[in-house]
Homo-oligomer: A and B are copies of this chain.
Amino acid sequence: MKMVVAVLRHTELQRVQEALLALGIQGMTVSEVKGFGRQGGYTELYRAAEYAVRFLPKVKVEVAVPDGRLQEVLQAIQGSARTGQVGDGKIFVYDLLQVIRIRTAEKGEEAL
């Protein structure tokens, strides 16, 4: 099994989620993160103080998938998260040694 971790713009989360649902993916875990990259930030002004905001809010999506479905999942995410502007984000793929569903103690692909 693989863990697909994508860092996205907030605005694209809904489309990504729909693309994954369309593939029959049944679960995912999402968290708030801040990203630093090529995308230019903003300058924040507080009275006399100026701060360059280099960390922009992004959303991180984690989806565990069976090996056989990795490619279509990657394509679905990349297709639906893309706006073409700098800052669209990245997808990272990890190997997953084991998955357990806590409720049933099912293991491996059955647990997804």
Q: Are B111 and A90 in contact (CB under 8 A)?
A: yes
| Copies of this chain in the oligomer | 3
Residues of B within 8 A of A49 (CB): none
Give the distance to chain B from A46, nearest Cβ to Cβ, in Å.
17
Give the distance to chain B from A82, nearest Cβ to Cβ, in Å.
5
With A17-B36, A33-B29: A99-B92 Cβ-Cβ less than 8 Å: yes
Q: Are B29 and A30 in contact (CB under 8 A)?
A: no
Q: Are A30 and B37 in contact (CB under 8 A)?
A: no
Q: Which of B29, B38, B81, B85 contacts A60 (CB 8 A)?
A: B29
A-B contact pairs, 8 of them (CB 8 A): A6-B102, A17-B54, A28-B35, A29-B36, A30-B34, A31-B60, A84-B103, A94-B97
A-B pairs, 3 with minimum CB distance: A27-B37, A93-B98, A88-B103
* 14 further interface pairs, Cβ-Cβ under 8 Å (given A2-B97, A90-B100): A3-B94, A8-B102, A17-B36, A27-B38, A27-B90, A29-B60, A30-B36, A31-B32, A31-B33, A78-B105, A86-B103, A87-B103, A90-B102, A93-B96
